[in-house]
Structure 1
């Protein structure tokens, strides 16, 4: 219970990495506010069935205290109200995880900038960049009230991997994910005088609820998906990145990482945690050395 007494906000904690991060923070004893747009009464444009209430319940079951709050993070008034509630109820905020996204429904693989719907592309930028800026703008004044505050900007891809343009995903997606890394760097500089830290964190190939549905598998039989996509062998459960963020939040010397982009696979080597199957997948090294290199799928030596 390394995070007993600590308060976290997982913005965008409805499903996937956000849900797993919230649960693992709760497992370490934290009170976790879980915000998002999908509830048992109403779904967001993502159209998925997972809800913030379910995530909050999972946090509590894991040993923490989960609090679900409906928030559209594009609405500054709603975000300010959320932070105000955390302040009234606890007077502190120790961890902010900016995992707001919801833009996958607008993603069009293989389309060039001018071929992509401009309206959809700009919506992706709003969902993946504006939401993070709006949330940090309201939350950081509370986070800096105590030294040791941590901001985690969730991204997709290491700094080295994203140094090359991700043409498969396209202009708007590439811009969103690189921007999250830059936002971590910027917040690291601004938080440093107050004893705070900001880090960008990326999972590998995430076996999110949507990804499992895409391949028609479950977490129990996920390897069956390799018949359709052999490189799926390097995939990881959401719990893996959840454990990565929980380890960072519990580290008294987390400031040594400030401003950097870290991966779940890389952090597993430092902190010693594993994925749910006991392995330590290193997805981004695999992506560079195997997948991008055109080699046959084989995760030997990458777990």
Structure 2
């Protein structure tokens, strides 16, 4: 992938940490200039109260071989997104790759709580931070994508189908299925402009927050008590999927679809940073749907 995206301009929303950071790094590794956007900077934290910053992500993009440009942007603010748009327009005049990964709903999600017993303000907070932000980003930034032909717009979601899992609840499901729906619509609406729109999803993620949740680190993540975490993947895995899509001259064949990291791994042959190829989809079918005990299944066969 080295140099495959040289000269390309990318904007990644929600790039402070997690998939946004992993995607930014891998776009940089392929030679792109990446506008790394999010709310947490070294000068101040977002309401998420995390330590990761957009400056750190930009430095990781630089180290990978690209050019990282950190821009603080709250995607609930039209003024902030207008400022981002104007900066990109003034410096480059276009966006070749737009990755819409903004989230910010974690403080509001009440997993496992019946909707009618939940806090309605929190429920609306999930939707506001998870859907409104995507619509604002697209409304303001798509004009810079459709100015040229051959661009790519990717929505980042959770899950590659619309199956409802009871524990997630209505607000979270609404957001993630809604983002997949946006990807389907973008596939149609952008086609006439020579731009490909679609959605992608990671598998079981080893993000900064998930590692903390399981009380492990990237060095000892295999010690997590959840047996499914044996099939986890780093954010760089999805990042490599996105970079492969961005470098594919025939990416339009995927317009409107939601594709998973493991599906794209089979398509393009990339690995995670440890050299393995975790296949969460096959694990889910052959272990969970088959009624096997994940604790006794041979996870190595699925990596």
TMscore range, shorter length: over 0.9
Deviation per residue, 1:104-148 (Å, 9 max, x gap):
122222111111111011011011111001001011111011111
Mapped contact 1:274–1:280 kept (Cα < 8 A): yes
Match of 2:301 in 1: 301
Where in structure 1 do 4 or more consecutive aligned residues deviate above 6 Å? none
- Alignment: residue pair count: 298
Mapped contact 1:157–1:284 kept (Cα < 8 A): no
1:272 correspondence with 2:269: yes
Match of 1:82 in 2: 84
1:149 maps to which of 148, 151, 158: 151
Structure 1 distance, partners of 2:158, 2:289, is: 16
In the superposition, the TM-score normalised over structure 2's length comes to: 0.96
Deviation per residue, 1:204-223 (Å, 9 max, x gap):
00000011111121112110
1:170 correspondence with 2:162: no
1:293 CA drift (Å)? 4.5
Mapped contact 1:8–1:33 kept (Cα < 8 A): yes
Structure 1 distance, partners of 2:236, 2:32, is: 16
- Give the unaligned 5+ runs of structure 2: none
Q: Secondary structure of 2:153's partner?
A: strand
- Give the unaligned 5+ runs of structure 1: none
Structure 2 distance, partners of 1:86, 1:248, is: 22
After superposition, the Cα gap between the structure-2 partners of 1:292 and 1:108, relative to the gap in structure 1 and judged at 3 Å, is: farther
2:117 maps to which of 115, 118, 134: 115
Q: How is 1:1-303 mapped onto 2 (pairs within 5 angstroms)? A: 1-159=3-161, 162=162, 164-225=163-224, 228-297=225-294, 298=297, 299-303=299-303
Aligned-CA RMSD value:
1.1
In the superposition, the TM-score normalised over structure 1's length comes to: 0.96
Q: Secondary structure of 1:206's partner?
A: coil
Mapped contact 1:231–1:291 kept (Cα < 8 A): no
